[in-house]
Amino acid sequence: MKVTLYGAAGEVTGSAYLVETGRARVLVDFGLFQGHGKAEKKNRVPAGLRARGLDAVLITHAHLDHVGRLPLLVPAGYRGPIYAHEVTAELAGLVLRDSAKVQAHDVARLNRKRMRAGKPLLQPLYGEAEVNAVLELFRPVDYGVWTEVAPGVRARWVNAGHMLGSGSIELVAETAGGLRRVVFSGDVGPPGLALVPDPEEPAPGQVVFLESTYGDRDNKSPAETLAEFRAIIESAVEQKARVLVPAFAIGRTQQILYHLDELFCAGVVKPFPVYLDSPMAIEATGIYARHPDLFDAEARALQRACELVRTHRHVIPCPTPEDSMRLNDAPGPCLIMAGSGMCTGGRILHHLKHGLWRPETVVMFVGYQVEGSLGRRLVDGARRVRIFGEEIAVRARIHTLNGFSAHAGQSALLRWLEPLTRVGPRVVLTHGEPRGRQPLAEQIERRFGLEVLQPEFGETVEW
Ligand code: ZN
């Protein structure tokens, strides 16, 4: 059995694992590389993958860095099944259509410059046609059910508690050397993440591929983060503030809506208008709402107990740009959630331009802000920023909540791994920068005495 890494090796994007058993070739995840410069060049079907010769593709969850290269498979000749949880299939449709739209937009902008410079024009990686073609290939699977995915290869998804529909994948393959078992953690959620259940325990395998995004640290506990969240909302309501939340459309947005529901239903604050200013967030929230059976016990109990949550009267969708513009006159208290999560584009920029210079505005960051983004400059305390070429003074109150991450921290990753250590597996750390995976590797070696590998792009693990 051989597994070759075609992404997320020493970095956090581009997840892709090629599994070869001698009888079958299976791809696990096929995510987009994100970031600047070199990332773009890596977004292709690697030569060694031979898409035409694949038997199946398995997907852990619907984030772009796990599904974003899938539309490249069809033009490369792949027509086989793509197995994923039903919700992952639905959310992947949203994510991939958005990705095609963003690419079309970015390429058009670059091409205007290239045309003026007399340079050859660029093509987007894929468009809507490729997205639609690849969505046809999805086959839904349920948690806990073994599926024969390729000749001699069975797979089972267990809940990874990272987003709705997310799973870790167990794979059992018949090879010339006997049965081989391998576990792909996918992205593992922290215990106590809102809406989704805590991660389930997969059955042990001889090799475990484990994510290491936060392998170097523990994030703040959900309880501490919620206390901060509550304090910010209470003070905003008291001051009739307008709260701006730059948020990612899938996962984080629904988490924040849920925490607001908790406050409203417990009577901590009176319900106020919550504007969902993102077509993608509106759709994703709709998909979440159609699958309450996948929520954790707390979320289901809240739904049963609270009329407000069932009717969602306080949540006001703003699908069109005109809806968004009208929010400039919306009085406080209110909360506006808009993308992008790091303020690198999207409707949040308009709200920031309109609100940052006013002391009565509150900006609440609920996700990681990458170096160089407008979000990062605000979090770092910039007194002036440029938005759409205009200099804006920052007088708004800026809050950063770091504890809403959908990734397990170091302790939780070690706890997730512990039941799998009985059979003394080899552990392969992926989906983490060196600063995340090196400290995690040391912990795993020290605590469990296991062999830990940290492969690079294109390396193969064989057993
Ligand atoms: Zn993820």
Q: In the prediction, which pLDDT does 38 show?
A: 64
Residue given tokens 């694949």 in the structure block: 54
Q: In the prediction, which pLDDT does 173 show?
A: 98
Q: In the prediction, which pLDDT does 37 show?
A: 61
Q: In the prediction, which pLDDT does 143 show?
A: 98
**pLDDT surpassing 90 at residue 260:** yes
**pLDDT surpassing 70 at residue 102:** yes
Provide the pLDDT confidence category of residue 369 given band limits of 50, 70 and 90: confident
Q: In the prediction, which pLDDT does 344 show?
A: 85
Query: What residue type is assigned to position 374 of the chain?
Result: L
Dihedral sign of CA atoms 335, 337, 341, 343 in order = negative
Question: Cα of 162 to ligand 1 centre, how many Å?
Answer: 7
Provide the pLDDT confidence category of residue 222 given band limits of 50, 70 and 90: confident
Task: Give the whole-angstrom CA distance, residue 444 versus residue 439.
Answer: 9
Other beta carbons within 10 angstroms of residue 11's beta carbon come to 23
Task: Give the whole-angstrom CA distance, residue 160 versus residue 169.
Answer: 9
> What average pLDDT score do residues 349-354 get?
97
Q: In the prediction, which pLDDT does 59 show?
A: 98
Q: End-to-end CA distance of the chain, in Å?
A: 6
Chain-centroid distance of CA 56 in Å reads 23
> What's 222-404's CATH class?
alpha beta
**pLDDT surpassing 80 at residue 129:** yes
Q: In the prediction, which pLDDT does 39 show?
A: 66
**pLDDT surpassing 80 at residue 200:** yes
Question: Cα of 115 to ligand 1 centre, how many Å?
Answer: 37
Question: Cα of 104 to ligand 1 centre, how many Å?
Answer: 24
Residues lining ion ligand 1 (Cβ < 5 A) are 63, 187
Question: Cα of 185 to ligand 1 centre, how many Å?
Answer: 11
**pLDDT surpassing 80 at residue 35:** no
Output the pTM of the full model.
Answer: 0.93
Q: What is the pLDDT of residues 261-310, one digit of tens each?
A: 999 999 999 999 999 999 999 999 999 999 999 999 999 999 898 888 88
Question: Cα of 33 to ligand 1 centre, how many Å?
Answer: 13
Provide the pLDDT confidence category of residue 36 given band limits of 50, 70 and 90: low
Question: Cα of 61 to ligand 1 centre, how many Å?
Answer: 7
Q: Where do the structural domains in the chain lie, given as residue ranges?
A: 2-217+406-462, 222-404
Question: Cα of 388 to ligand 1 centre, how many Å?
Answer: 30
Token digits of residue 350? 């308009």
Strands 207-211 vs 274-276: parallel, antiparallel or unpaired:
unpaired
Residue given tokens 């919700």 in the structure block: 87
Q: What is the pLDDT of residues 164-189, one digit of tens each?
A: 999 999 999 999 999 999 999 999 99
| The CATH number of the domain covering residues in 2-217+406-462 | 3.60.15.10
**pLDDT surpassing 80 at residue 40:** no
* Mean pLDDT of all residues belonging to the chain: 95
Question: Cα of 432 to ligand 1 centre, how many Å?
Answer: 12
Question: Cα of 407 to ligand 1 centre, how many Å?
Answer: 8
Say which residues have a Cβ less than 8 Å from residue 24's Cβ, sequence separation at least 6. 55, 56, 150, 151, 152, 153, 173
